[in-house]
Amino acid sequence: MKVIIKQSYSSKEVPKNIKFVYEKTNQTRPAWIWVENLPKNVMFLSTRINGKIEHYGVYLSTEIPLFLPTTYTKDEMKRYYNKFAQIYDKEIESKNLPAAQFLLKQIKLPKNAKILDLGAGSGISSIPFVNAGYTDITLLDYSSKMLETAKKKK
């Protein structure tokens, strides 16, 4: 697989030392592309892979330099989130933890409640519930790497 990324910018400021990392798949394109030193306001990448133009987009936040194909498969989505698991806590904790703390204050659950955290990621949203004494919490996520990260937490 030959990936060529043509650099084109709408501003006069051209980033220095841009580095691209990607994961090869059995598809005609990578499952994800990680771009270091790219301006934070970039939302799309247009790539030429084996002569064909492929488009990638930022899936969660323009502050995260991890791009997913705009025509992704289920397997590519898993690969994306497994890669994202490496930085998930750093990027998401400041947003998800306060939201989970707010939710815990708003709902009245019995202490023996069974809690299901769908799309749990690395378990950040379950932390306030654990700290409040809830012990029967099940985390479910598409990414095995996210769940491995969650298991390492107390």
Nearest by Cα to 89 from 98, 99, 100, 97: 97
Kind of pairing, strands 3-5 and 136-140?
A: unpaired
Do 64 and 107 lie in a common domain?
no
Contact 137, 126 (CB under 8 A): yes
Helix (H) or strand (E) holding 8: none
Do 65 and 100 lie in a common domain?
no
User: How far is 62 from 39, CA to CA, in rounded Å?
Assistant: 9
In this prediction the pTM is 0.76
Who wins on pLDDT, 100 or 43? 100
The 8 Å CB, 24+ separation contacts for 107-110 are 109/134
Please state the domain count of the chain.
2
**Across 108-134, average pLDDT:** 94
Do 101 and 39 lie in a common domain?
no
Do 62 and 7 lie in a common domain?
yes
Do 37 and 54 lie in a common domain?
yes
What phi and psi values does residue 150 have, to the nearest 5 degrees? -65, -40
- Strand locations in the chain (E): 3-5, 19-22, 33-36, 44-49, 52-58, 66-69, 114-118, 136-140
Do 58 and 125 lie in a common domain?
no
pLDDT for res 86:
87
pLDDT in tens, 63-104: 788 999 998 999 888 899 999 998 888 888 888 899 999 999
Q: Encode burial over 116-131: b for 16+ CB neighbours within 10 A, e otherwise.
A: ebeebbbbbbbbbbee
Q: Point out the domain boundary residue: 42, 65, 84.
A: 84
Residues spanned by the domain of 66:
3-84
Quote the mean pLDDT of the chain.
86
In this predicted structure, the answer to whether residue 2 has a pLDDT above a threshold of 70 is: no
Do 78 and 130 lie in a common domain?
no
